[in-house]
Structure 1
Amino acid sequence: MRRVIRALRRSGVVAHPLRRPVDRVEGWVTLILVVVFAVFTPLAAAAVGGCAFRAGVRAEQSQEADRRHVMAKIVKEGGRESRRLVAVARWRGSDGMWRMAKVPVNGGHRPGSSVRLWIDQSGREVAPPRTRAQTWNQALSYCLITMAGIGFLLLEVRRAVRLRLDRRRSERWERLWAEIEPPWSTRHRPPPPWP
C-alpha cells in the first residue's frame, strides 16, 4: 500500500504542499493516459485481431478450395538450391497431363519414391494452403502491433505534454528569479563608494 501511495505522490495526482499546479496537471494527464491505455488498447487490439483472424479464415477456405495434394514420383535427384534439397518429380495434373518440376524434398527421398505436393486448379505446384496456426499467429501479431502502436502514441502524447509543462516551469522560474534575485545578488547592487 505504501508503494501505491508513494507512486501516486510522485505522479502528482495526490496533492501535497510542494506540488505546483503544473505538477498536478502532469499527474492527471499521466493518469488519464494510463486509463485510456488500459481501456482502449484491449478493445482496439481485439477489433484488429478479430478482423485479421476472419480474413485469415477466409484465406484458408479459399486456398483449401483452390488447392489439392497429389503424390508425385521422384524421377531424379536435383541437388541443393538455395540451402534446400530439391529433386525432379513427376505428377499428373488435374487436366490429366503429366507435369515435371523441381520440388523441395527431405534427405531420404531417392528416385522412385513418392513425395506429397500441393497443386492448384491448373496443375502447377503451389505452396500448401494456409493453416489455422498461421491464421492465429498473424491475428496475435496484429494484436501485439496494435497494442505497441497505441502505447507508443500515448507515450509521445505524454512526452509532448511534459515538454510543454517543462517550458512553463522554466518560464515561471525565470519570472520568480527575476523578482527575487536583485535583493540577494551583488550583480545588481551599485559598487561600494571608494573612501
Structure 2
Amino acid sequence: MSGGTGTKKLMWRWRSNPLRRHDDIVEAWIVLAVWAVILVGGTLAGLVTAHAADEVFDQQREERYAVKAEVVTGAPAAVTTAGTTNRRALAQVHWTTPDGATQTGKTLVPAGQKAGTEVEVWLNGQGDLATEPPSPTEASVEAGVLGTAAALALAGTVFGAGALARWRLDRRRFDRWGREWDLVGPEWGHKTS
C-alpha cells in the first residue's frame, strides 16, 4: 500500500463524496477536536499541574525547618509486610521552640528508637510538626508524575467523551438505516415483471 492510498483512507470523511453523509462530517470534526484537545489540553494540563506542584514543594522547603527533639515513648521496631520493611514508626516526641517553650507531639521517627533518643523532626511555619519536605530532585520527580497524571486524566476524559459522541452518531445512523429498510425492504418481495 502506498503512502498516498493510506492517507486517502484516513481522510475519507473530509473528501467530497456522493456517499458521504452529514454524520460522517460531524464524526470527522469530533475526531479532530478530540485529538486537538488531547494534544494541546493534555500538554497544558500537565505543564500547569507540574508547575503548581513545584511551587508547593518550593514553598514547603522554604517554610519548614528541622529541629532536634527527644523521643518520649519508644518507637516500635521495623515491621516487614508484603516484602517491604517500614523503617519509620509513630512516636511521641518533645522539642523546644525558638522562644524556649516545650512542645510535645507525635510524628514518624526511625523505627526502634528508645525513649530519650535525640531525633530530627520537621516543623512548619506555625511551629507544628510536619513531614520533611521533598528534596529538589524528589520534588521534580513527583511534579513530573503529577503532571503526567493530569495530562492522562484529561486525555482519558476527552477520549471517553469523544467515544460517547461517536457511539451516539452510530446509534443515530443505525436507527436511520432501520427506518429506511422498513420502507424499502417490503418492496423487494414484489416481482417487477
Check conservation: 2:45, 2:150, Cα contact below 8 A: yes
Query: For the aligned residues, what is the CA RMSD?
Result: 3.4
Pairs within 5 Å for 1:16-95: 21=19, 30-77=27-74, 79=76, 85-95=89-99
Q: C-alpha distance in 2, partners of 1:168/1:12?
A: 21
Q: C-alpha distance in 1, partners of 2:120/2:148?
A: 30
Shift of 1:123: 1.9
**2:110 aligned counterpart, secondary structure:** coil
User: Which residue does 2:83 correspond to in 1?
Assistant: none
Residues 31-73 of structure 1: CA deviation (Å, up to 9, x unaligned):
5444433333111001111221222122123222221122222
Residues 137-175 of structure 1: CA deviation (Å, up to 9, x unaligned):
221111110010110011011001111111111111111
- Higher mean alpha-carbon deviation, 100-109 vs 151-160, is at 100-109
Structure number with larger C-alpha Rg: 1
User: What is the letter of the counterpart of residue 64 of structure 2?
Assistant: R
Q: TM-score, normalised by structure 1?
A: 0.72
Q: TM-score, normalised by structure 2?
A: 0.72
Q: C-alpha distance in 1, partners of 2:13/2:104?
A: 72
- State whether structure 2 residue 168 is matched by structure 1 residue 164: no
Check conservation: 2:94, 2:103, Cα contact below 8 A: yes
In structure 1, list runs of 5 or more residues that go unmatched. Answer: 185-195
User: Which residue does 2:187 correspond to in 1?
Assistant: 179
Check conservation: 1:94, 1:121, Cα contact below 8 A: no
In structure 2, list runs of 5 or more residues that go unmatched. Answer: 78-85
Q: C-alpha distance in 1, partners of 2:120/2:142?
A: 20
Q: Which has the higher contact order (CA 8 A, sep 6+)?
A: 2
Shift of 1:176: 0.6
**TM-aligned CA distance change 1:88 to 1:140, over 3 Å:** same
Query: Alignment length, in residue pairs?
Result: 178
Check conservation: 2:91, 2:108, Cα contact below 8 A: yes
Shift of 1:104: 1.8
Q: C-alpha distance in 1, partners of 2:9/2:43?
A: 34
Check conservation: 1:93, 1:122, Cα contact below 8 A: no
**1:115 aligned counterpart, secondary structure:** strand
User: What is the letter of the counterpart of residue 50 of structure 1?
Assistant: L
**TM-aligned CA distance change 1:95 to 1:49, over 3 Å:** farther
- Percent identical across equivalent pairs? 17
- State whether structure 2 residue 151 is matched by structure 1 residue 154: no
**1:95 aligned counterpart, secondary structure:** coil
**1:44 aligned counterpart, secondary structure:** helix
